[in-house]
Structure 1
């Protein structure tokens, strides 16, 4: 695949590294072109501007910028993301583990509104960047499951493929209207992990005990 990465932070570095090693053609774009070039050299990718990344990402564009800047950056990409699969990995979580978008559209929906020609898919927002760097992310013999939310089946299948390239298992999270639930889950889990030092996996029983097969 040809993948454009908009941003030069840790998520851009970790996911870009994994996808480049999986054989995809990656271009990293940033406001600071020298920083983008340094990251691209490090991960075996090409470099350019933000719009270069969007144009290059014929198959997928990862929006890997802080949530506060995400809608503005998406809007600034304009026609460069029209018809593209735009992956939103942002988390609108502020101090106190509070969801900044509570009571309103989700981050993913705001990004979709800012880039109306793109097919936005919410994914890769539930884990710290260090998890995505694991090769692969497998815990007690079980690969990490990655929920994805979106409305375009072609875009969803593209992202599912990129999830599998990390050694993870894609999980259907529903339409983009459910992205807010995924973002709220991230806020809650981060609060448990960071605020309370709790192993969040301990709060959910295995599937066979979840009552889904109860009569």
Structure 2
């Protein structure tokens, strides 16, 4: 996800900083984005720019948040993490707080849940589209400034932002991801299970 979205934002003219536990890996990824992208450690990435994309495997989330410490406090964080347990495609968070709520509580960041319904291949498309229609990106968040920043980033990808409620609704968006992934793994197009909009 970081590679796909970072490349798109770099192409759109945004300054991009790639952070990883492995600095060499971050540098290789940044080089793929072009001459304007930079790379370094997780703490540097957490403090860079107007927003930070949190794109890690759920299993590594606690470790990554522990490494960035207070660097994310008060900042806009885009959470695209899906806590999915296989097999069964169930939520790793169970009935507890959503991944997004856990990130917000652990960091003090202005978390916006989004970009979690489609695989990275969709975000590599220019622009991301389905059957010739621009991709809609549902968002959940509480901070007006953070939401405005993320809406701009979505629009710059050629997509359409859609407000899906406050951060208390992020769990619904995460459950939707489990539903979509489950259908996809079963060989069913998730769109076929939804009524068309007239």
Match for residue 39 of structure 2?
47
Which SS does the other structure have where 1:148 is aligned?
strand
Look up the match of 1:199: 189
Query: Is 1:26 equivalent to 2:34 in the alignment?
Result: no
Aligned residues: 195
> 1:105: Cα distance to partner?
0.3
Counterpart CA distance in 1 for 2:84 and 2:33 is: 28
How far residue 119 of structure 1 moved from its aligned partner, in angstroms, is 0.3
- Please state how far the C-alpha of 1:171 moved relative to its aligned partner: 0.4
Alignment of 1:114-153 (within 5 A): 114-116=106-108, 118-153=109-144
Please state if 1:100 is matched with 2:92.
yes
User: Aligned equivalents of 1:203 and 1:66: distance in 2?
Assistant: 28
How far the C-alpha of 1:76 sits from its partner, in A, is 2.8
2:6 alignment counterpart: 16
- SS where residue 111 of structure 2 aligns? strand
> What TM-score comes out, normalization by structure 2 length?
0.95
**1:74 and 1:115 in contact (8 A); partners too:** yes
The residue aligned with 1:171 is 162
| Cα distance in structure 1, aligned partners of 2:128 and 2:25 | 28
Match of 2:175 among 164, 180, 184: 184
Displacement, 1:84?
1.0
Unaligned runs of 5+ in 1: 1-10, 209-215
- TM-score under structure 1 normalisation? 0.88
* C-alpha displacement of 1:113: 1.0
The list of structure 1 runs, each at least 4 consecutive aligned residues, that deviate by more than 4 angstroms after superposition, is: none
Aligned residue number for residue 5 of structure 1: none
Deviation at 1:139, TM superposition (A): 2.1
CA deviation map 1:113-155 (0-9, x unaligned): 1102x10010100001000000112223321110000000100
Q: Aligned-residue CA RMSD in angstroms?
A: 1.1
Q: CA deviation at 1:37?
A: 0.7
Q: 5+ residue gaps in structure 2? A: none
Q: Is the 8 A contact 1:82 1:115 kept in 2?
A: yes
